[in-house]
Amino acid sequence: MQPPLKRCFFYNLRQMPYTDAHIWQRSLLAERIQDPSLDDVLILLEHPPVYTLGQGATPEFLKFDLDTSNFEVHRVERGGEVTYHCPGQVVGYPILNLQRYRKDLHWYLRQLEEVIIRVLAGYGLIGDRLTGFTGVWLEGRKVAAIGIKVSRWITMHGFALNVCPDMTGFQHIVPCGIADKPVASLAEWIPGISCDEVRSQIARAFAEVFDVDLIEVAR
């Protein structure tokens, strides 16, 4: 007899300011550190334009002056270098207790990549991993960035998939600190693609890869 699937609450949201989502993630993480029996969570949303730097990120990958620009910039506790979020990019924040899965951060990163690779495969596209890097590429161009934070084996932060964003915001940074590998969006391969349809594909792939029962809830 198959064991029951793990439950994972699913918030499928529209736009949310980055700071609001960050506070929410930290609250969910703290609750689960306090009570590890709480169910896992997957949040999918979009952000207004914002740049984020990982905790050890190098400011030299910014092509603007932090003190004089009008850009919204936040340094947060995830790994990785600078990245850009904006409407048209689906951001996923899994709050998972890895003790239910595998206590292995490399495994977890590869699973997040696998979610995106399966989404791309559904559109007849072959997503690639590049040795030594984290994320997913299409024909040598990066379409998904991944950066995580794990505390007591509970995850926060996650992945960002460029679906149909205005890509000009990426021109102000060296995305993920990788100067020789350009970024791209799915719209360049699939004109007319929308975040709404991709969200449902991400949810389906996530449930398959992590073997969970997604329970959609409103916030």
Catalytic site positions: 176
Cβ–Cβ < 8 Å for 79, 105: no
Q: How far apart are CA 34 and CA 38, in angstroms?
A: 9
Q: Of 211, 216, 215, which is closest to residue 5 (Cα–Cα)?
A: 211
